[in-house]
Amino acid sequence: DAAADHDWITVTDGSSGRDNGLVTYSVDANPSPDLRTGTITVSDGAGIASIFTVHQGAVATYLAIE
């Protein structure tokens, strides 16, 4: 099983199942000027889990001086 800890991370494939497999995910655009971090936890159903960290950069900001 695979699950994300924030709603801006979506596990798109591989959210359930057993044995070896592929987990794919997508992230929503980051509207914030700050870096954000979330995790995806992949569990084997027997209490063993792997945690993957997702870092997403901030939105680009521009300052125009005229």
Whole-number pLDDT of residue 39: 96
Give per-residue burial for 23-56: e unless 16+ CB within 10 Å, then b: bebeeeeeeeeeebebebebeeeeeeeeeeebeb
User: Residue 18's closest CA among 36, 45, 37, 41?
Assistant: 45
Kindly report the pTM of this predicted structure. 0.80
Whole-number pLDDT of residue 40: 95
- Sign of torsion over alpha carbons 3, 24, 21, 55: negative
Whole-number pLDDT of residue 37: 96
Q: Which residues of the chain have pLDDT under 70?
A: 18-19, 61-64, 66
Helix, coil or strand: residue 27? strand
How do residues 21-37 score in pLDDT, each as one tens digit?
A: 889 999 999 998 899 99
